[in-house]
Amino acid sequence: MCGIFGYCGQQRAAPIIIEGLKRLEYRGYDSFGIAVADRNITVRKKEGRISQGMPNIPRLKGTTGIGHTRWATHGIPSDGNAHPHLDCHGAIAVVHNGIIQNYASLKRELEERGHTFSSDTDTEVIPHLLEEEFKGDLAAAVAAILPRLEGSYAILAIAEGHREIIAARCRSPLVLGIGDRASLAASDVNPLLEHTERVIFLEDGDIAAMSAEKIRIWHEGTPVERPVSRIDWSVEEVKKGGFPHYMLKEIYEQPEVFSSTIRALKEEEPPEIVNGIRGVTIVACGTSYHAALLFRYLVEAHCGFPARVELASEFKYTSPPKGDLVIGVSQSGETADTLAAIQKASMSGHPTLAVTNVLGSTITRIADDTLFMRAGPEISVAATKSFIAELAVFSHLVDLMSGGVLGKDLPRVHLAISEALLVDLSPAVELCRDAGSMFFVGRGPYFPLALEGALKMKEITYIHAEGYAAGEIKHGPFALLSAETPVVALCPPDDAYPVMFSNIREMKARGTPMIVVGVSGNRDLRDVADVFISLPEGSSLFHILGSTTVMQLLAYRTAVALGRDIDQPRNLAKSVTVE
Ligand code: F6R
């Protein structure tokens, strides 16, 4: 939800923190701030984006500091609500990612004891609580106040005159980096890669004291050692590499992402947990949920047992069948709803499997086993390559559980993505850019793809777009069809083709501009479509990957035509760590 970054070393902290926050901006970008501890604490904070800059920050002295880029939850985006927050004397500064659920009662108590608040945030209770406990040992003060906080947090705190950062986490991500005579902390590994490949993933309940020389960690008052992991993502991977936007770069990475995910999974021992299962329930949000819906079609077609898919946020109101393997799918591994769903499944005795892109993420710790996608860092807020990587993991799983039904296809199928990257979408973009509203329709596995196409379109172009099962469109949405409502129809040459073709003609008869995605050489589709997007012939999976790429690019190119902020669309954040 928000990004936090801390540096404690030999160099000036401020410029390092600014660069770190820029790499975390995708997690939140409505305001930002930094605090540096020298003899005093100096704070600079501001509404707006860190990439728009703030003069004088880099000149701040001090080699210990913390920073934050915010996605507002409590209190509007403003200079005052931006982090860091201070105690009454400006002697302690705190940045926080997460939500303190009991902040209102804590704030009332603190105000009754004479504390003055200067923001509407939940976070500000933390420095005021610390002020009451701090007697020279900040780690001890943090340990004393944490039991009073309900909710989720990743916290970094500094105190004037101290060359130490105190870090604590509970259900919000926090990674520590071991640098060259420096310690660092960040919400994810991306901004640490400039400084080190050696990282420590804190556990829930851990408190760490970080100085330039060392990192000490305690859990429930006892010193503990946490393993040091090596991250093999390169700095280049987290840069734009000549592309105008991360989203486009990430779409172009997809052929490699699909094939390297399959390659890596094939080299691993298959997860024992899938042996002998009789049913699966998959929980996920957003794009990951759409990938899961598609998985359901593959499982039921090829594996001979049922698959249910639940929105993670709704899972708590449902009960999966006894014995089902519950699979949580999350690119970030930090989505609060998905974590809560996996936790609930574990508590009710279901075996659980995580599918994620991020080593050390929270979901990997709460699930019984994990399958990693190999998407590499995904920076654009709109998920693209992680969807493809999820499809790769699912294809591999289906292959495992079906005795190899997809096997022959898997090493070549990513070529569909490369082909789709070459398609000219200009006529389709012309139809979409002026649309007030759009529909995306498909049948079978193309229904979840239609949902995903609509999600991509709405989140980066701000055009209202809905995904529909093609058969449902005449049960109400027909009333909305008009010359101003383009429809994107996914019409591959499968069993559903004849009825899909009829649906396209019915929509066309209402004057609707039709953008149809089918296979090359199909004269009927070409004749009925206003814009026909043709893909090469291939297997079902081949066509699924090609159609996905076409819809991602259609959303991307339309957003470019409309001049939207593609990598950081309004009101969104990459990782949604609140329920
Ligand atoms: C859409 C998008 C979101 C995420 C969703 C789940 O482009 O990115 O819908 O898919 O927030 O995120 P993860 O997969 O990290 O759990």
**Residue 301's domain is classified under what CATH number?**
3.40.50.10490
pLDDT band of 1, cuts 50, 70, 90: low
pLDDT at 233: 77
Is the CB of residue 292 below 6 angstroms from any atom belonging to ligand 1?
no
**Which one of 206, 236, 266 terminates a domain?**
236
pLDDT at residue 358, rounded to an integer:
87
Å from CA of 516 to ligand 1 middle: 26
* CA separation for the pair 40, 162 (Å, rounded): 9
78 and 211 share a domain? yes
Backbone φ and ψ of 424, nearest 5°: -85, 115
- Do 388 and 439 fall within a single domain? no
Beta carbon of 287 within 6 Å of any ligand 1 atom: yes
How do 41-47 and 31-37 pair as beta strands?
Answer: antiparallel
Pairing assessment for the beta strands 280-284 and 325-330 based on DSSP bridges? parallel
Does residue 126 line the site of ligand 1, with CB under 6 A?
no
- Same-domain pairing of 126 and 206: yes
| Bridging pattern class, strands 325-330 and 487-490 | unpaired
* Catalytic positions, written as ranges: 2, 574
- Which among 144, 134, 132 has a CA at the least distance from the CA of 221? 144
| Better-scored residue on pLDDT, 53 or 64 | 64
Helix axes 125-133, 103-112, angle to 10 degrees: 50
Q: Between 463 and 276, whose confidence is greater?
A: 463
Cα–Cα distance, 367 to 272 (Å, whole number): 13
Q: Do the Cβ atoms of 433 and 446 come closer than 8 Å? A: no
C-alpha neighbours within 13 Å on the C-beta side of residue 389: 30
pLDDT > 90 fraction of the chain, expressed in percent and rounded: 77
Let me know whether 296 and 228 are in one domain: no
Placement of tokens 């012309």 in the chain = 430
Average pLDDT over residues 381-409: 93
Highest mean pLDDT among 97-106, 211-220, 565-574: 211-220
3-state DSSP call for residue 375? Answer: coil
Euclidean distance between CA atoms 34 and 62, whole angstroms: 12
Q: Is the pLDDT of residue 377 over 80?
A: yes
The answer, yes or no, to whether any atom of ligand 1 lies below 6 A from the CB of 383, is yes
DSSP per residue over 163-219, as a string? Answer: --EEEEEEBS--EEEEETTEEEEESSSGGGTTT-SEEEEPPTTEEEEE-SS-EEEEE
Residue 289 is predicted with a pLDDT of 98
Question: 234-243, pLDDT tens digit by residue?
Answer: 777 777 777 8
Q: Is the CB of 343 under 6 A from ligand 1?
A: no
Atom 9 of ligand 1 has which residue's CA nearest to it?
Answer: 286
User: Pick from 236, 267, 286: which residue ends a domain?
Assistant: 236
- Identify the pLDDT of residue 2: 86
Same-domain pairing of 139 and 9: yes
- What 3-state class would DSSP assign to 321? coil
- pTM of the entire structure? 0.80
Residues 402 and 482 in one domain: no
Distance 21 CA to ligand 1 centre (A): 21
Q: What is the percentage of the chain residues whose pLDDT exceeds 70? A: 99
Q: What's the mean pLDDT in 404-425?
A: 90
The per-residue pLDDT for 434 is 93
Q: How confident is the model at residue 376 (pLDDT cuts 50, 70, 90)?
A: confident
Rounded-to-integer distance, Cα 579 and Cα 572, Å: 14
| Cα 449 to Cα 560: distance, rounded to the nearest angstrom | 22
Q: Which has the higher per-residue pLDDT, 237 or 218? A: 218
Whether 477 and 378 share a structural domain: no
Same domain, 87 and 133: yes
Strand 222-224: give its sheet, edge to edge. Answer: 85-86, 92-100, 151-159, 165-170, 206-210, 215-219, 222-224
User: 3-class secondary structure for 244-307?
Assistant: CCHHHHHHHCHHHHHHHHHHHHHHCCCCHHHCCCCCEEEEECHHHHHHHHHHHHHHHHHCCCCE
* 384 CA: nearest ligand 1 atom: 7
- Tell me the average pLDDT across 148-164: 95
Domain housing 465: 416-579
Sort residue 435 into left (φ over 0), alpha (ψ -120 to 50) or beta: beta
- d(CA 427, ligand 1 centre) in Å: 29
Q: What is the pLDDT of residue 53?
A: 73
555 lines ligand 1 (CB under 6 A): no
HSE at residue 443, side-chain half, CA atoms within 13 A, is 19
Helix (H, G, I), strand (E, B) or coil at 344: helix
* Average pLDDT across the chain, whole number: 93
Same domain, 160 and 245: no
281 CB near ligand 1 (under 6 Å): no
Closest residue (by CA) to atom 7 of ligand 1?
Answer: 382
Q: Does the pLDDT at position 208 exceed 70?
A: yes
- Give per-residue pLDDT as tens, 436-450: 999 999 999 999 999
Q: Which residue has the tokens 């079978």?
A: 444
Judging by DSSP bridges, how do beta strands 229-230 and 280-284 pair with one another? Answer: unpaired
Write the burial class of residue 437 (CB in 10 Å: 0-12 exposed, 13-18 middle, 19+ buried): middle
Task: For residue 384, report the distance from its CA to the centre of ligand 1, in Å.
Answer: 10
Q: How much is the pLDDT for 55?
A: 65
Mean pLDDT of 365-391: 94
Amino acid (one-letter) located at 524: D
In total, how many domains does the chain have?
Answer: 3
CA terminus-to-terminus distance, the chain = 11
Q: Are 263 and 331 within one domain?
A: yes
Q: Last residue of a domain, which of 190, 218, 236?
A: 236
Question: Is 236 or 14 the better-scoring residue by pLDDT?
Answer: 14
| Mean pLDDT value of segment 268-276 | 88
Q: What is the pLDDT of residue 67?
A: 97
> pLDDT band at residue 58, thresholds of 50, 70 and 90?
low
Mean pLDDT of 92-115: 95
Residue 314: partners with Cβ closer than 8 Å, 6 or more residues away = none
Q: Which two tokens stand for residue 526?
A: 């070409």
Q: For residues 337 and 328, is the Cβ–Cβ distance under 8 A? A: no
Residue with tokens 């005021």: 128
Cα 470-472-474 angle, rounded to 5 deg: 100
Query: For the stretch 547-572, what's the b/e string if a residue is b when 16 or more beta carbons lie within 10 angstroms of its beta carbon?
Result: bbbbbbbbbbbbbbebebebbbbeee
Shared domain check, 445 and 552: yes
* Strands 215-219, 206-210: pairing kind: antiparallel
User: Does the pLDDT of residue 352 top 90, yes or no?
Assistant: yes
Same structural domain, 34 and 94:
yes
Output the pLDDT for position 458: 97
Q: Is residue 76 very low, low, confident or very high in pLDDT (cuts 50, 70, 90)?
A: confident
Residue 406 alpha carbon to ligand 1 centre in Å: 27
